Structure 1
Amino acid sequence: MGGTISKLRYVLRTFSSSLEQYESLKKRIAASPGIPNLPTSDPRSSTPTVPPFWTIPASPIARHGEASPLPRDEVDVVIIGSGITGTAIAKALVEFASEPHEDRSWNKPQRREISVVMIDARDACSGSTGRNGGHIGPIIYDEYTDLRDTYGSPTAEEILRFRLAHISTLISTARDEGLLYASQAREVEGFDVYAHPDKFERAKEELREFLAKAPADLTKGFELIDDAQGLQKLELASSMLGCISKPGGAIHPYRFVTGILSNLLDKYSNFQLFTRTPCTRISSKNTGYIIHTPRGDIRTSHVIHATNAWSSHLLPGMRSKIVPTRTTMTAQRPGRGLSRSWVGSRAFVFYPIEDSSVFQYLTQLLPSPLPKNEKWDPSLPTAGEFMFGGRIQPSFTNNIGIVDDNTAIFENEAHLCGALERSFAPYWGKDANDSTVDDVDCEGAAPEQMWGESRIKAAWSGLLGMSVDLLPWVGRVPRAASRRKEPAATRSASTDDGPPLSAPGEWICAGYTGEGMVHAWLSGRALAHMVLGVSPEANGERDVPSPFLITDRRLRETRVEDAIARW
C-alpha cells in the first residue's frame, strides 16, 4: 500500500510540475517580445552584455544615423530591421527603382526616386543575423516526404529548390558587391552526422525515398557514408554511426550584411539608415502610417516588418504564430590534432540522440592570411574558429518565449564546450591556444582579454523566430495580424512624380525557424517586388512558394499547440 501511495505522489508531483511548466510556456508565447535591449557597457552590471563574436570589431556603419535627424517629409517605405531580410528588401527596392523598365510608369523622366528608410532598435545587424551560425545549410532530403505529403510534389520541390538556391545566390551577391573576401562566402561540403541507431535508420530511409522520388536536379550531391574508412577521412569520432553528405555553404553573415548596407549608403542617396531608433508604436492614417520612435515620428506609405523573432511586438496578431526562442552560439578554437587540409571547407550538423529536435551545427571560419598578404585586412581577424551552436533539451523548451539575447545560457555553453571535442575524438588532440591557430594580434582586432583563453573563445545568445507551421511568413499583413485600420488609398503615389508602388500597407518577411540563411534573402527580394507592384518572374527573379504567403486562413488554422512538439 505504501508503495502505491508513493507512486501516486510521484505521478501527482510530476503532473503538477508539467502543468506549471506548460502554463508558464503559454504565458511566454502570448506575451509581446517588446523592444530589443541595448547592450550595457557597465562592468558593474549583474548581467554584462556578451557580444556576438561575428560583430567584433564593429562595422563602421554599426551606429550609422543614430544622431542624424529623421526625415521630415513622408517617405515611401520604412523597413524595420537591419539584418539579412531588411538588407535584401532595401537592396531590391532601390536597385529596381534606379534601372530602366518596360513598364512605362516607372520610366517617366520626371519621376522621383523611391525613398527608403531603414531603422533598427540597436546597432546595424545586431539581431539574429549577427548572432547565427554562418551556415547556409538547406534542409532537403529529411523534409522532402513531409513537404510532399502536405503540399504535393510540385510545391514541395519548389520549396526545396528555393532553399538550395540560396547557396549560389548569396555567394554571387557577395561577389557582385565586392565582398567575397570580407564575407568569406563560399561553398562547403555539408554533412549530417548521426550517433543514434534509430535516428540514423530513419535518416537513411528518408534519403532513399528522396533519391527515388525527387527530380534529378534536386538529388545531386547527396550520398550516404557509413563505412569506417569514409568516417575516418572526416575525422569523426567512432561513436558516430554514419553521415549523409549534402550541398552547403558558409558565410560571415555580419560582414556580408553590413558590407551591403555600406554599399547602399554610398551609392543611393534615397536610402537612409537610422540605428538605435526603435519603433515603439505604429499608427495608421487615411493615406499611410506613422512610425513612432523616441527620436520622433516618420510618415510613410509602406511599413515592412523585418524583425523576425521580434515581429509580434508591433504585430500582436502574430503572437503564437512567430515565437521568439533563445539559443546559444560559440566560437571555439579547433583541436591541434585535426587536419589543416579541410579548414573552412566543411560544415556539419550533428544528431546525437533519437530526438530530431536536438542537434548541433558547425561551420569554420577561414584562417587569417599573413599580414604581408595583399588581401590582409586588420579589421577582419579570423583564425579558423569553429562556429558551433545548437539545441539541447530541456534548455530549448525553457527558452521558448525568452527574449534576453544579451546574456549567454550556462547549460548550453557547457554542453557545447564538451560536445564539439567529443564529436571529433580521438582526432581532436590537444586544445589549441591563440598562437597555435594563427590568431594575429593586430590593429583593429578585438583585444585578447575580450576572448576566453580556453577552448571556448566566445559564447553568446541569439533569438530564433520559430514559425508555428515551420515555414516563413511573407507578404501583405492582414488586419487580423496588425490589429490596425488599413489606409484607404489604393496607390502609394498620389501625385504623378511618385513611384507607382502597390497600395499602402504593412508587410512582413519573418519566421525562419532557425533557417534564415536559406530563406531570408530570396524571400526579402520577393517581398520587395510585392511592394513595388511588379511580378518577380517578369524581372527574372524567383517568387516565394505559395505556402510562405501570409493569409487570413493561415492565421486562423495554424495553432501553436500543434507546433511545440515538432519544434
Structure 2
Amino acid sequence: MGSILSAVYLAYDALSSLYTSYSRLTSCLALSPGIPVSNPTLSFWTVPPSRISKENSGACHSDDLEGTRLLAGFNTSDEGSHDPDNAPKLPSYADVVIIGSGITGTSVARALLMSGKPLRILMLDARDACDGATGRNGGHITPPTYLEWSQLKARVGLETACQVVRFRLQHIEDLLEVAREEDALRKASSSTEEDATMNDSLKLLTNSPIFLLNSPNLLTNSPSLLTNSQCRRTDSYDVFFDEGLFKASCAKLEEYLADNDDLEEKVKARYRVVGKEECVESLHLEPKVAGAIRIPGGAMFPYRFVTGILERLLDDYADSFSLFTHTPCTAICQLSSGTGYVVDTPNGRIRTSHVVHATNAHASHLLECLRERIVPLRATMSQQELWVGGGEPGAEGGHGGKPPATPEWFGTRAFTLYPSASTVQFDYLTQQLAGDGASATSKLDSDQATSASVAISKATASTAPTIRKSLTAYPPPRGELMLGGGFLHHTAALDGNGVLDNADLGCADDSGVDIGTAAYVSGALGAYFRKSSGIKDRVNVEVWTGIIGISADFMPWVGRVPAELAERSTSELPTASESETATKNTLVDSDNKAPNARALLAPSGEWVAAGFSGEGMVHAWICARALARMILQEETDDNLKEATDDPAKLLPDDLPEPFLFTQERWKKASLDGMMAALAE
C-alpha cells in the first residue's frame, strides 16, 4: 500500500528470517489467496461510497436493482443467473472479461473502450467496486528511485534500470493528465445532453432528500474528477532517524543522479538533501531526526479517482461496458474449440475471448502458476484527524468543522519515515488537502448519496444515464493524516508452539487488524513530529487493512499468460452459431458493416497485470494501459502486420522488458531464485 516496500529486497530477507525454516516459509506462500473475503475492514477512502459501488450487485435486493439492470447496456438472457429474483442477469458473452475493479482493471477498461473498436467489456468484482488494495492504500504516488538504484542496476543493467525509473516517475504526470482528460470528456459529454431529457430526469428526483440541500445547481455543477481525487504533486520526503542510514542514503542519491544525468531538470530539481535543522524547523520533525531527502512525489484520493472514471465509462459506454459487483469469478475453463473461455460466477457463466486478471494479490487464486511468484501481504493503514494550533474540536461532531488554523503546507507534503538503521522498517504518511467548507463536494453526505442511488434505480433506461452523470458529490477534505505501516514493528508473535511467526505475510484476509500494529500506527505520529508543531489533539483514528501482492522477482507481471502455465481444463459448452456469435461479439454500425470484434484483437487468451509489491500507484496504471495495447494488438513495430501472440513483439514501447510475463522469467522467478538473489 502506498510506498510500502521501497526497499523490497531487504524486506524479503527480513521476512524470511521471521520463520524457523525455509520449508515453513514455502508452505505458507504456496497457498491460494482465495477470493477476497466478504467482510473486509471498512476503509476511510470508501466512505461515503461511490454511486456505482454496488453496480449490478449480486448482493442487492431486486428492488434496488431495477434501474441498474437497465443501465447495464447488455442484451441479457435467462442464461447467467442462478437466482433471477435477487441477482442481475449476466450477459452470455463479452469480448473481454476483466476481473477486478481497482486501478488496474479500470485502466485496462478505459484503454479498451476508448480505442474506438466495437468491443463489449464486462468487469467483475467479488466485492464493492474498488474495495481492494486501490481503495485501501496510502494515497501515495511516490516512485522508488535512488534507494534501490544499485540493486536495480545490477540486476537489469543501466539502460533498463533508467527505463524502469522513468516509468515510475511518469505515473505522477500521467495520473494528473488522466484526471484532466476525464473532466474534459465528461464536460463534452454533458454538453450534448438534451434539455428535455434533463428536465425529465429532474422530475424523477423532485421528492428525493437530495433537494433538501437547497442546491438547485447540484446536478449541473458536479465537481471535477481532479477536485474529487485531489490528484496533485507533493513535496515528498524520505526521513531518516539513524545517522548512518541517512549518510548511506545520501551516497545512494549521489550515485543515482550521476547515472541519470539526462533526467529532466525539473525532475532533478525535486531531489534535495535536507539537513537536520531544516527538518526540525520547516518540517516540524522531532529533534532526534538525522536528516531527510526530498524526492519527486504526488498524492491522491485513489478510490474517488478510480470510481470517478468508472462512473463516466458506465455512462458513456452504456451499450458496451458493464460492471457486476459482488460477482466473483470462481473458475475459468477453455472452450474445446480453443477460441475462447467460459468464466464461472455464482450468478452464471460468460463466454469470452479474453480474460484479464487485475486482482493483484489474489491473482494466483485463479492462476495457480503465480503461487510463490506473487505473494499476499496484509498491510495496515489509518486515518487520523488531528487539530492544529489550539482550537476546540467537534464544531460539527467528531468529524466536523475546519481546523481553526490551517498551515499553508497542509496537503502538500508526503513522508516515508525510517525510524531505525534499516530501510525494512518504515511508515508512510500523506495528508489530504484542507477543505474550506464551500466546496461543491460538501453537498451530499452518505445517507443523501444513498437516497440519490435509490432515485437512480427507479429511473427509466432513457433518462437514468443523464442523472448518473450529475450525481458525484463528496464531503470536502479536512487535512486528514493518512498513516500506514507498522510492518515489522509489531507483527511478530508466538504461535502455539512458541515459534516466531508473522501474521501478515501470506495473509489475504483483510477482515481483521493486528492489534499490536493498530496500536503502533495509532500512536506513531507523536514520536515523529515535534509536540510544538501545532499538531495537538487526535480527535479520531480509523484503522483498516488491505492486501498487497509482492512479486518474487520484485517486478510486476504484465502480459499474456502462457497457455501451458494457465493449464485450463476444457469445456464442452456448445458455441453459438456463426451469425449469433457475430451479433454478440460486435456492435453493428449504421451501415451494418462492423467487423467481427475478435478480428480486431490479439489471439484469444488470458492476460495479467499484477504483483506491484506495494507500489501500485507508480506501476499499475501504465502497466494496465500497456496490457490493453497488447490485447488491442496495436502495432509497436512497423514491420508487424500479422496477428501474433509473441510476447516480445507485443511489448509496448512504454513497458520495461523485465515486467513482461514470459516462461523464461517464470522459471527464474521462483522462491528459490528470490532467496538466492537476496543472498548475493
TM-score, normalised relative to structure 2: 0.70
Cα distance, 1:211–1:536 mapped onto 2, change above 3 Å: same
SS at match of 1:216: coil
Q: 1:54-96: per-residue Cα shift (whole Å, max 9, x none)?
A: 0001111000011444444421100000000000000000001
**d(CA) in 2 for partners of 1:537, 1:144:** 30
**d(CA) in 1 for partners of 2:637, 2:523:** 48
Aligned 8 A contact 2:379 2:485 in 1: yes
Candidates 106, 111, 118, aligned match of 1:92: 111
Structure 1 residue identity aligned to 2:112: L
Match of 2:28 in 1: 28
**d(CA) in 2 for partners of 1:336, 1:421:** 14
Match of 1:328 in 2: 380
Instruction: Single out whichever of 198-207 and 385-394 deviates more from structure 2.
Output: 385-394
**d(CA) in 2 for partners of 1:382, 1:148:** 40
Match of 2:624 in 1: 524
Structure 2 residue identity aligned to 1:182: N
Residue 487 of structure 2 corresponds to residue 392 of structure 1: yes
Residue 567 of structure 2 corresponds to residue 431 of structure 1: no
Candidates 374, 383, 389, aligned match of 2:478: 383
Compute the displacement of 1:566 (Å).
6.0
Match of 1:192 in 2: 238
**d(CA) in 1 for partners of 2:289, 2:665:** 40
Match of 1:340 in 2: 407
Match of 2:50 in 1: 59
Candidates 524, 542, 548, aligned match of 1:419: 524
Match of 2:333 in 1: 283
Aligned 8 A contact 2:331 2:345 in 1: yes
Q: 1:19-66: per-residue Cα shift (whole Å, max 9, x none)?
A: 656544322211101111112xxxxxxxxx530000001111000011
**d(CA) in 1 for partners of 2:559, 2:305:** 25
SS at match of 2:315: helix
Aligned 8 A contact 2:240 2:290 in 1: yes
Compute the displacement of 1:497 (Å).
2.9
Match of 2:563 in 1: 479
**d(CA) in 2 for partners of 1:161, 1:472:** 15
Spell out the pairing of 1:10-25 with structure 2 (5 A cutoff): 20=20, 23-25=23-25
Candidates 603, 612, 615, aligned match of 1:515: 615
**d(CA) in 1 for partners of 2:340, 2:440:** 51
Residue 179 of structure 2 corresponds to residue 135 of structure 1: no
Instruction: Single out whichever of 155-164 and 140-149 deviates more from structure 2.
Output: 140-149
Residue 502 of structure 2 corresponds to residue 497 of structure 1: no
Match of 2:178 in 1: 173
SS at match of 2:328: coil
Spell out the pairing of 1:442-457 with structure 2 (5 A cutoff): 454-457=538-541
Cα distance, 1:331–1:536 mapped onto 2, change above 3 Å: farther
Compute the displacement of 1:144 (Å).
2.1
Residue 343 of structure 2 corresponds to residue 303 of structure 1: no
Compute the displacement of 1:335 (Å).
5.0
Cα distance, 1:239–1:339 mapped onto 2, change above 3 Å: farther
Structure 1 residue identity aligned to 2:228: A
**d(CA) in 1 for partners of 2:631, 2:18:** 45
**d(CA) in 2 for partners of 1:242, 1:455:** 29
Compute the displacement of 1:355 (Å).
1.9
Q: 1:252-281: per-residue Cα shift (whole Å, max 9, x none)?
A: 000000000000000012011000000111
Match of 2:658 in 1: 547
SS at match of 1:370: coil
Residue 150 of structure 2 corresponds to residue 83 of structure 1: no
Q: 1:435-480: per-residue Cα shift (whole Å, max 9, x none)?
A: xxxxxxxxxxxxxxxxxxx555210000110000111000000135
**d(CA) in 1 for partners of 2:373, 2:231:** 32
Match of 2:635 in 1: 535
Aligned 8 A contact 1:344 1:384 in 2: yes
SS at match of 2:138: coil
Structure 2 residue identity aligned to 1:50: T
Spell out the pairing of 1:110-189 with structure 2 (5 A cutoff): 113-178=118-183, 179-189=225-235
Aligned 8 A contact 1:330 1:456 in 2: no
**d(CA) in 2 for partners of 1:335, 1:214:** 41
The percentage of counterpart residues that share the same residue type is 41
Match of 1:558 in 2: 669
Candidates 191, 198, 204, aligned match of 2:250: 204
Aligned 8 A contact 2:228 2:441 in 1: no
Match of 1:447 in 2: none
Aligned 8 A contact 2:388 2:534 in 1: yes
Q: 1:112-162: per-residue Cα shift (whole Å, max 9, x none)?
A: x11110000001000000000001000111122222221111111110110
Cα distance, 1:339–1:514 mapped onto 2, change above 3 Å: same
SS at match of 1:154: helix
CA RMSD in angstroms comes to 2.6
Gaps of 5+ in 2: 1-16, 59-68, 70-87, 184-224, 390-404, 445-473, 493-501, 576-580, 587-594, 639-649
SS at match of 2:116: helix
Aligned 8 A contact 1:231 1:242 in 2: no
Aligned 8 A contact 2:441 2:475 in 1: no
Compute the displacement of 1:305 (Å).
0.2
Cα distance, 1:475–1:18 mapped onto 2, change above 3 Å: closer
Q: Of the two structures, which has the highest relative contact order with CA contacts closer than 8 Å and spacing of 6 or more? A: 2
TM-score, normalised relative to structure 1: 0.83
